[in-house]
Amino acid sequence: EAGVAQSPRYKIIEKRQSVAFWCNPISGHATLYWYQQILGQGPKLLIQFQNNGVVDDSQLPKDRFSAERLKGVDSTLKIQPAKLEDSAVYLCASSLPLLAAGNQFFGPGTRLTVL
Amino acid sequence: AQSVAQPEDQVNVAEGNPLTVKCTYSVSGNPYLFWYVQYPNRGLQFLLKYITGDNLVKGSYGFEAEFNKSQTSFHLKKPSALVSDSALYFCAVRDGGAGNMLTFGGGTRLMVKP
């Protein structure tokens, strides 16, 4: 079974530039998550999708971050414009639909460096 | 609000010795508890979870964890550590009554020395 795919793996940009990350979840997983993991910290949930609908985006900085999952499969996370403090690893995860006990399966992440 | 605390930034243990990585949590309802491991340049991998039932949960790679409701703890354990167990370990919790939102602890780096 293929895992969660993410691209790119690494990205370096200057502040005020824009960047986009892509995620392809495990086949059949209706729930998709984007996390931000700052160096030395645990992952923090940014947004959660159920199919193509947003379940929770309470911690997404909506003035600069946006995410979509138009067809209920792949998802993109965008930052525009980037700030220095956005430097982090962005993790995508997927799981079976909103099961309380369900495991989340994580992709390898995209490491973003903002200069 | 739910939260997780991992009081140790790093745990050092000699190969072959038992290891414990500590985790305490706070939720308003029944806790669903998870442990994940992160190797360098890789995503998080699921180790084990507690949902209900037996307080001692067994997981991957010989790891186990003990749920203690009175102490609100979910410590990760392994009877005999391997050098290959060296990695970053994250405890996570979610309220069983809410959506599937996980709250992670800050992580504990486990260093197993030969």
Taking only the tens place, the pLDDT of each residue in A77-91 is 999 999 999 999 999
pLDDT of B101 > 90? The answer is no
CA distance A107 to chain B (A): 5
Distance (Å, rounded) from C-alpha B35 to C-alpha B57? 11
* Of B9 and B97, the one with more pLDDT: B9
**pLDDT range class, residue B86, cuts 50, 70, 90:** very high
Mean pLDDT, chain A, as a whole number?
92
Instruction: Give the number of other CB atoms < 10 A from CB of residue A95.
Output: 20
CA A42 to chain B, closest CA, distance in angstroms equals: 4
List the end-to-end C-alpha distance of chain B, in Å, as a whole number.
41
With CB atoms and an 8 Å threshold, state whether B42 touches A108: yes
Contact B35, B65 (CB under 8 A): yes
Give me the residue from B32, B43, B106 closest to A42, CB to CB: B106
* Strand-pair partners of A31: A50, A95
Please say whether the beta carbons of A68 and A49 come within 8 A.
no
CB of B35 less than 8 A from some CB of A? no
Among the listed residues A1, A11, A27, A3, the one whose alpha carbon sits nearest the alpha carbon of residue A108: A3
- For range B65-94, the mean pLDDT: 96
Of A41, A91, A98, the CB nearest to B100: A98
Interface test mutation site (partner B, options A4, A7, A36, A45, max chain B beta carbons within 10 A): A45
Q: Which residues make Cβ contacts (< 8 Å) with residue B9, sequence separation at least 6? A: B106, B108, B109
What pairing do the DSSP bridges indicate for beta strands A5-7 and A19-24?
antiparallel
Partner-chain residue, chosen from B41, B49, B107, that has the shortest CB–CB distance to A103: B49
Contact between A108 and B99 using a beta-carbon 8 Å cutoff: no
Give the lowest-confidence range in A53-62, A97-106, B74-83.
Answer: A97-106
B32 touches chain A (CB under 8 A): yes
Write out the DSSP string of A23-61: EE--TT--EEEEEEE-TTS--EEEEEEETTEEEE-TTS-
pLDDT, residue A90, reads: 97
Q: pLDDT tens, A34-46? A: 999 999 899 999 9
**Is the bond into A61 cis (omega within 30 degrees of 0)?**
no
What integer pLDDT is reported at residue B2 of this predicted model? Answer: 86
The residue assigned the tokens 């309470």 is A58
The CA distance from B88 to B79, in Å, is 18
